[in-house]
Structure 1
Amino acid sequence: MEEAVIVLNQVKKRFGKFEALKDVSFTVNKGEILGFIGPNGAGKSTTIRVLLGMLKINSGEAKIFGQDVWKEDVAIHKGIAYVPGDVFLWPNLTGGEIIDLLLRLNQQQRSPETERLIKLFQLDTSKKARTYSKGNRQKVALIAALSQEADVYIFDEPTSGLDPLNEQAFQTEVLRLKESGKSVLLSSHILSEVEKMCDRIVVIREGSIIEQGNLTEMRHLTRLEITVETQEALRDLEECSWIHQLVLETDHRAHFFVEQDRLAETMTLLSKKMILSLQSTPPTLEDLFLSYYKDGSAQHE
């Protein structure tokens, strides 16, 4: 039986009359990477602040290690490492001094693992934080968090500002955490990042959990966006059940989404119509939510 390390059960959080979280329920199991995704303003960061004991919920249950996140936050924080999406540092301290300080705040100290991560992320720790770019500020927080000995790692848009090589380094390190039995909650808007790392996905929109499951169950999130122009008419695409959100701009030009496992079939069909131009784009999460959850209701096909 799987051991739940993080448990949210029908959590509600209001700011005045605004209900930011509406009956949010999900778990993160031991040794699991859970992807927490949704458009901007959906409630991801609010949920994470609840888990960190920064916000008190109005109703429901929120626990880490079986302890209430609001009442037992000090004890819980000893077993948590956290990286926010926008890191603010002490401007007159160097990157190295800040890493040491962050480790000491969790009763830990610099280790060979810290040095390995500094080299991996190619951070110049001798520079003052005020000279750092956004990406370098993220590196400081990531190095401090990843070199801590924790049981749960919470990342809120952690790769914001990082270049592709450092994004890849982060992904490798998170998979190492999983292999060592750690639990990870990853909030991200980068679909490829979620696909590569996460065992399960939780989707939040307007404060409500609208879907959750493993990647196989949620394969519709990887539909490809296709724009095509052909010599022959494309009207019969309307009869193809695996083609979604079809827009016929003209008889010979169409825009639609298609399941990846039906791409070959789609290309065979389009080839017979003499392709003049074709563009294929993997969807971003923002594209998905605009298309699947527009007008306040799910538009699954």
Structure 2
Amino acid sequence: MARFGYTLMTEQSGPRDLVRYAQAAEDAGFDFEVSSDHYSPWLVSQGHAPYAWSVLGAVAQATSRVELMTYVTCPTMRYHPAVVAQKAATMSLLSEGRFLLGVGSGENLNEHVVGDGWPAVATRQAMLQEAVEIIRELHTGELVTYDGEYFRVDSARVWDVPEGGVPIGVAVSGEESIERFAPLGDHMIAVQPEAKLVEGWDAAHDGASRKIGQIPISWDPDLETAVERAHDQFRWFGGGWAVNADLPTPAGFEAASQFVRTDDVAESIACGPDLDELAASVQPYLDAGFTDIAIVQVGDEQQDRFLAEVAEPLLERLRALS
């Protein structure tokens, strides 16, 4: 049976609210919780971008059952991979083994802030490969020196590591990235429900891994309000990863999405009060073979009510589908 998660959207909520939502999501019965890791929101109207790792540390203490995950961290520019290895190991220990490190090649929106430019996609993928190799080595708890094309690690050791290291999920988008990262990652992360991705990843893992996706919904008792909120907060969503990865600022996303209509958003994001319709929107991921699907409730203003009144009956419908 598929597992269903709740997304801690750092772009649309402040840190204290996120911790409260995490507690409520666990109480509502979600299986896991994922956190985005952004320096900026996509759109100014979202209005937030707290430090995900501080939030996750607090969430680890505020919850006791749900698995926690970054969805996803870029361990190549804002963060050196040696630092990510230490953070992930600490999170695993704080959560008593409930942490999965999700990594990806990043977005210009978040990574350009350190002033090192924005490499081409082939370079970003090669950097991510080195980063995962470094994190794996450091999670052995041994002394590590690494001299790669993009990163150097000099006599480093992560002193507090969980036994067996930290499981790593890697974001992939096609055949080349699967060929590169399937041998390095434990689990697959993808933003599109493509069966070919699942098949390619499973071929390298004999099917013994998780395939993790994410999908936004906009629940509200009023359909029009739900659609308007989705348009205001998530109209960037339709740009596609090839575009979204390269835009540098919220202003860039504003410009790129200025001609996206509310009808366009309503066609791509399930909106409104109909829980059967909201649940059915995950079907493409189930059909493609994904094992884990994280739900994003768009917008901050209805999170409390969504978690208190809607999450449990929605989860019943989702589990019935799977």
**TM-score normalised over the length of structure 1:** 0.31
Structure number with higher helix proportion: 2
**TM-score normalised over the length of structure 2:** 0.30
Structure number with higher strand proportion: 1
